[in-house]
Structure 1
Amino acid sequence: MRLMITTPTAIIVDEANVSALRAEDDSGSFGLLQGHADLLTALKISIVSWRGADDRMHYCAVRRGVLSVTGGDEIAIATREAIVGDDLDRLEGIVLDEFHQRLEAERTARTESLELQMKAIRQIVRYLRPDKPGARDADPRNVDL
């Protein structure tokens, strides 16, 4: 099988003669062998492992992504971020923790941004409907977000 792992800016892995691959989605860990049925699934933050042409195991930490199998012999993974390594312990211990921390930071930033947007919308509505209780004078220079 051919395996290709890509990020928005680079091709991380392009390897032919992959004999087996393991990945993880929301339903759990799964394996792929030559001749697998076509598949499309969303990956979790996890380690993708595969046996290469050299009969050694190779590993890549992925920060979520989409895995597709086409024609039973082509596996493509598109992910936001990927780090290849032959040291499974390092990838699991350091890289996955970092990916999870970044994900949590992004969630926090999105939440704070949405809260700020909602405050701005509420303020606009108050000025557009000055007849409602809690409205201020219609002078937009007095806005306090």
Structure 2
Amino acid sequence: MSKGALRLTIATPPQVWFDGVEIVSLRAEDPTGSFGVRSGHADFVTLLTSSVVRWTGADNVPRYCAVSGGVLLVLGGATVSIACREAIPGESLEGLEAIVRHRHADESDAARRARIDQMRLHARAVRQMLRYLRPRAGTDGANPTAAGASLQ
């Protein structure tokens, strides 16, 4: 590791996206706003908001990763670790924005389909209960055909 560099790790439950990547600086966002981390930063832990984490690699190329919240930890002024539920890496902000929009549209569509399926299942269950509860001829002591016959 070169002098003045940090090591970055970003992990989600199913995958480690970046593991010990050498970086120069990092920008992230917590509920208080945007903040930066450089080598020698004091130990620090914070809850991230859903946002884009940006960093500059040792090659001086900016990199990006959208995170859905999470926890950021700085240790010993040399390591930055981020644990989050979901991470979406991207080479550019524009490309990352397109990926995130597409994923959100897919998730919204899936949620809409799930609500429709749930409503159909609920309606089917109500119809089934109504069929079960509907009185049947001869089962409750009243026979509609016999009652109609006695009126004549």
TM-score normalised to structure 1 length: 0.65
Q: Which residue of 1 aligns with 2:40?
A: 35
Long gaps (5+) in structure 1? 110-145
Q: Give the deviation of 1:15 after TM superposition.
A: 3.9
Residue-pair matches, total: 106
Q: Report the counterpart of residue 128 of structure 1 in structure 2.
A: none
Runs of 4+ in structure 1 off by over 4 angstroms are 96-103
* Distance (Å, rounded) in 2 between the aligned partners of 1:78 and 1:96: 22
Partner of 2:62: 57
Cα RMSD (Å)? 2.4
Normalising to structure 2: TM-score of the pair?
Answer: 0.62
The structure-2 alpha-carbon separation of the partners of 1:100 and 1:66, relative to structure 1 and needing over 3 Å to count, comes to farther
Which residue in the other structure is 1:13 paired with?
A: 18
Matched, 1:78 2:83: yes
Any idea what SS the aligned residue of 1:16 has? strand
Q: 1:125 matched to which residue of 2?
A: none
Distance 1:99 1:27 in 2: 25
Cα pair distance change 1:10/1:72, threshold 3 Å? same
Cα displacement (A) at 1:96: 6.3
Compared with structure 1, are the counterparts of its residues 101 and 79 closer, same or farther at alpha carbon in structure 2 (3 Å cutoff)? Answer: farther
Kept in 2: contact 1:5–1:12 (CA 8 A):
yes
Aligned residues with identical type, % of pairs: 48
User: Which segment drifts farther, 87-96 or 74-83?
Assistant: 87-96
Consecutive unaligned residues of structure 2, counting only runs of 5 or more, are 1-5, 116-152
Matched letter for residue 79 of structure 1: C
